[in-house]
């Protein structure tokens, strides 16, 4: 799967995209991440990308030209939908992440997503009207920009890309999955059996598979 991420802070993606599971998946070409600096597309002096809002009000708004050109460039590289991260968007869910992992226009293409990160008070509405397919929010709170939200989408979606997760872990039986009826998973325990006077539930130590299954089922919330 290919991700093209548009931002004015490309450095923010360096550490997350070069560690752990994401690093491994990139090395194995399971996912492909391309970060684009919106500022480089600005035709104004010093790469200006913002201006005061029409109608007045606090803060700045991202101007349409650099964003529009950056999105058009990304669209030549990635045939997936253009997603703008915004607190006004639809809330990201387990199901939505699963669906996005299959984003492609036809069966011959590999899945892809173009993630647009805004800053300041937001982006000019005309960019949304012209070239955004979907607005997505990661929660009912406001972040200082879309970068963290884009990383959350990248992570949540990548987990559903075939081979991203190892054989021993799985997205089949986890919190919010269909297999668990959309419920949250049971609690986990590991060694030692006694820690700070708290014991691992006896049934889990018993090795009785049917009873463990029943206990876990009862612990779903
Ligand atoms: N940008 C700012 N706040 C956001 C949120 N809650 N979700 C997605 N993008 C955002």
Q: What is the CATH number of the domain that holds 188?
A: 1.10.1270.20
Say whether both 151 and 177 belong to one domain: no
Say whether both 45 and 124 belong to one domain: yes
Q: Both tokens of residue 46?
A: 């010093």
In a domain, 164, yes or no: no
- With vertex at residue 119, the alpha carbon angle to CA 114 and CA 121, rounded to the nearest 5 degrees, is 125
User: Would you state the pLDDT for residue 200?
Assistant: 98
Instruction: For ligand 1, say whether the CB of 138 is within 6 Å of any of its atoms.
Output: yes
CA of 143 to the centre of ligand 1 (A): 5
- How many Å apart are CA 157 and CA 21, to the nearest integer? 13
Say whether both 108 and 204 belong to one domain: no
Consecutive 10-residue runs of the chain (221 residues): their mean pLDDT?
Answer: 98 97 97 98 97 96 98 98 98 98 85 95 97 98 97 98 88 92 96 98 98 97 97
The residue to mutate among 7, 96, 145, having the most atoms of ligand 1 within 8 angstroms of its beta carbon, is 145
CATH value at residue 60? 3.40.1280.10
Say whether both 154 and 174 belong to one domain: no
- What residues form DSSP beta bridges with 34? 4
Say whether both 183 and 152 belong to one domain: no
- How many Å apart are CA 50 and CA 42, to the nearest integer? 10
CA of 196 to the centre of ligand 1 (A): 40
User: Would you state the pLDDT for residue 173?
Assistant: 87
User: Would you state the pLDDT for residue 109?
Assistant: 84
Say whether both 180 and 151 belong to one domain: no
Pairing of strands 2-7, 194-195: unpaired
Percentages (nearest 5) of helix, strand, coil residues in the chain: 35, 20, 45
Say whether both 30 and 127 belong to one domain: yes
In a domain, 207, yes or no: yes
Say whether both 154 and 175 belong to one domain: no
In a domain, 163, yes or no: no
- How many Å apart are CA 103 and CA 83, to the nearest integer? 11
Say whether both 89 and 192 belong to one domain: no
- How many Å apart are CA 195 and CA 191, to the nearest integer? 9
CA of 142 to the centre of ligand 1 (A): 5
Q: State the residue range of the domain holding 19.
A: 2-158
Say whether both 124 and 179 belong to one domain: no
Instruction: For ligand 1, say whether the CB of 92 is within 6 Å of any of its atoms.
Output: no
**How many domains would you assign to the chain?**
2
pTM of this prediction?
Answer: 0.95
Where are the strands (E) in the chain, listed by range? 2-7, 32-37, 50-51, 61-62, 82-91, 112-117, 134-137, 194-195, 198-199
Say whether both 28 and 101 belong to one domain: yes
């Amino acid at each position: 799967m290919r991700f093209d991420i548009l931002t004015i802070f490309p450095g923010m993606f360096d550490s997350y995209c070069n560690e752990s599971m994401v690093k491994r998946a990139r090395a194995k070409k399971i996912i492909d991440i391309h970060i684009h600096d919106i500022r480089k597309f600005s035709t104004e002096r010093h790469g200006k990308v913002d201006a005061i809002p029409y109608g007045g009000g606090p803060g700045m708004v991202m101007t349409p030209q650099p964003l529009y050109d950056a999105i058009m460039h990304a669209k030549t590289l990635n045939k997936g939908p253009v997603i703008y991260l915004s607190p006004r968007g639809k809330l990201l869910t387990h199901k939505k992440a699963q669906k996005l992992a299959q984003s492609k226009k036809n069966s011959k293409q590999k899945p892809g997503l173009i993630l647009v990160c805004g800053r300041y008070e937001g982006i000019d509405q005309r960019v949304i009207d012209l070239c955004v397919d979907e607005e997505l929010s990661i929660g009912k709170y406001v972040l200082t920009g879309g970068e963290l939200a884009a990383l959350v989408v990248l992570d949540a979606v990548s987990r559903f890309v075939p081979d991203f997760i190892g054989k021993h872990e799985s997205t089949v039986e986890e919190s919010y999955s269909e297999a668990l009826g959309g419920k949250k998973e049971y609690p986990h325990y590991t060694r030692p059996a006694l820690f700070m006077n708290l014991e691992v539930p006896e049934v889990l130590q018993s090795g009785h598979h049917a009873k463990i299954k029943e206990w876990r089922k009862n612990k779903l919330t």
